Chains A and B, each alone.
Chain A
Amino acid sequence: MIINSRFFNRSELIGFVALAALLFVILPLSLDVFRLNLVAKYLTYAFVGIGLVLCWGYGGILSLGQGVFFGLGGYCMAMFLKLEASSPENTKIQSTPGIPDFMDWNQITSLPLFWQPFHSLTLTILAIILVPGLFALIIGTAMFKRRVGGTYFAIITQAVAAILTILIVGQQGYTGGINGMTDLRTLKGWDIRPDHAKVILYFFEVFLLFGCILLAQFIRLTKLGRILVAMREQEDRVRFSGYSVANFKIFAFCMAAIFAAIGGAMFALNVGFMSPSFVGIVPSIEMVIYTAVGGRMSIFGAVWGSLLVNVAKTGLSESFPQLWLFGLGGLFIAVVLAFPNGLSGIWADYVQPRIDRLLAWRKPKPAKAWTDSSVADGAPAE
């Protein structure tokens, strides 16, 4: 009997090393700062993707509203940066100096109460985690305790995304409206705009990404990870094994929200602005597509999916702007119909076996490969 208790199995370890080599060495050495910053932008969606792997791939909870949490995280970060950029010296031409420019344009004369905590970086970092986490907790509790799931849940998350977008656009004086929060300059006095800052922010983001990958992998390997899989298949059996299914769904949804929020905060830092166009229905669905293309059952797949689809998006929309949306839609349909496990599924089904065969051929006598002995034993007892 083999119970695999290692943190990564062999193919996961290869995936981890390959991704680390790509993001830490190959891309920084081969791309100019502009392109590297684009990669940083694409990778912010990888955070969302990792959350979706846990919540959708493992837990079977499809959220079409991850843009909400991406946006909440992003706006928390942007509010801090905007406040710092709106120092009285920088804004002395305004009728009320010391408040963000869009407030001044909207005849708001003092900083609203909910903006006050964003003077502090510590509170901002807490808010990036807690605001989306609590919001997901409220939505999750309201839905899952009432046993709302599947398509209904997906539709409700869409509605929430639509509502939040309308709210942000409508409350221009408090949120910057449709333009979002632009002209973000410094983080604790450190200018985030020049090239060397972009490079440092890229590496910071990649470190965080690997932190999230490790955390997600840890969760996946605990009994909770197996309960998520069990729940996706036989919800009732989990319930009648003594578990509160709703609590586990709420946990998965909250974790996905927090991962998405970290991605959003990184977006605000790396791209230098935040706007409602990253919150609504369309970006939320795009995030799901990135995950589906990469493979919803694979943490690494989600990262690759976010990278590759966005590279294709940039490439295609630079040359054929009208075609891109059709391409994205077609890609999603193709993945769902032909490759439900996405790129990571194609890798595991077609590429990996060939590599294995090649390695086995080079080493004539493999030292006790870890094949599943019980499968080979074949016929059942009787």
Chain B
Amino acid sequence: MLIGHQPKEFLLAVEALTVSFDGFKAVNDLSFYVEENEIRVIIGPNGAGKTTVLDLICGKTKATSGSIQFRGQELTRMKENQIVQTGVGRKFQTPSVFVDLTVFENLEISYPRGRTVFGSLAFQRDAAVRDRVEEVAEMIFLKDRLDTYADELSHGQKQWLEIGMLLIQDPDLLMLDEPVAGMSVSERAKTAELLNRIIKGRSVLVIEHDMKFVEDIAHKVTVLHQGQILSEGTMEHVKNDPKVIEVYLGH
């Protein structure tokens, strides 16, 4: 196995990953590796398969072939909730929060305890839960809105809430799908600040179109095109790659 020959272990190793929807290969023989504490940004034109890659890693879509190893565990055979429990967190493109619950309750549900049926019946809202929820609420600028129903939050605040729900899970790999899309300018700046704070101490996989934002945070950039890797490296390297300029940045 490839990993065995590497000097250090990758946090995430995607190898020969392929998924086909009725013959259309949305992701085609894709391989890439993410290290501990690495911030990786995936860019690419519409339909390049970016979101599909995240769907495959988090288990929302089942791979046709290939492997996804996270800390040496094979994710392609696991259920979504098991993948979460190994330490992979996923933020969706459209904010998906529970609108009939309060901000506090939204965060509490993501607190990693009492995740079985009977565990959740016995779950107690103790000081540890309360402190952690308040701590995260402060980070996501929603500290004084804990009792507000998520329904009443603005689009940007919902995005922050969902980021907060991931934070409280404390994942080793955080996957964000266009975290600043649809945000106002001031929300965008706040989100960048928030992301810069929370990405410390974990690996992050981000899909983003905002090039300034990408330049700010990315350690390494992967450019996808038609389900395959077009280019990979630092932002500087990718920007100057003629193939990338042709299909993506040039337009």
Contacts and interface: CB of A to CB of B under 8 A. Distances in A.
Contacts of B112: 242
A229 B109 CA distance: 11
Contacts of A337: none
Contact of A375 (B85, B106, B148): B148
Interface string A240-266: 111111011001000000000000000
A382 B169 contact: no
A248 B118 CA distance: 10
B115 A242 contact: yes
B30 to A, nearest CB: 22
A365 interface: no
Contacts of A240: 58, 60, 80-81, 84, 89-90, 92
B81 A242 contact: yes
A271 B232 CA distance: 75
Contacts of A92: none
Interface string B91-133: 0100011111100111011101011110011110100001000
Given A5-B125, A243-B115, A380-B154, A238 B109 contact: yes
Interface stretch (A104-112, A191-199, A216-224, A350-358): A216-224
Interface stretch (B6-14, B67-75, B138-146, B223-231): B138-146
B178 interface: no
Contacts of B85: 242
A374 B109 contact: no
Contacts of B114: 223
A375 B109 contact: no
B51 interface: no
Given A237-B98, A244-B79, A372-B147, A222 B109 contact: no
B115 A377 contact: no
Interface centre among B89, B96, B120, B123 (most CB of A within 10 A): B120
A30 interface: no
Interface residues of A, number: 36
A227 interface: yes
Contact of A224 (B117, B141, B145): B117
Nearest to B152: A375
A3 to B, nearest CB: 7
A237 B152 contact: no
A322 interface: no
Given A226-B101, A226-B105, A241-B109, A382 B96 contact: no
Contacts of A367: none
Contacts, number: 112
Given A237-B98, A382-B186, A374 B115 contact: no
A242 B100 contact: no
A11 interface: no
A236 B92 contact: yes
Interface centre among A223, A226, A372, A380 (most CB of B within 10 A): A223
Contacts of B108: 223, 226
Contacts of A1: 104, 146-147
Contacts of A241: 84, 109-110, 165, 169
Nearest to B89: A240
B123 A234 contact: no
Contact of A229 (B98, B115, B117, B120): B98
A247 B169 contact: no
Interface string B168-202: 01000000000000001011001000000000000
Contacts of A237: 92, 96-98, 162, 165
Contact of A243 (B58, B81, B97, B125): B81
Given A237-B97, A377-B144, A3 B125 contact: yes
A93 interface: no
Contacts of B104: 1, 3
Interface of A: 1-3, 5, 219, 222-224, 226-227, 229-230, 232-234, 236-245, 247-248, 251, 372-375, 377, 380-382
Given A233-B99, A375-B148, A377-B145, 12 more contacts: A224-B117, A224-B123, A232-B100, A240-B60, A241-B84, A241-B169, A242-B115, A248-B120, A374-B144, A374-B146, A380-B145, A382-B186
15 contacts: A3-B125, A224-B121, A230-B106, A233-B98, A236-B60, A240-B81, A241-B169, A244-B79, A247-B117, A248-B117, A248-B120, A374-B144, A377-B144, A377-B145, A382-B184
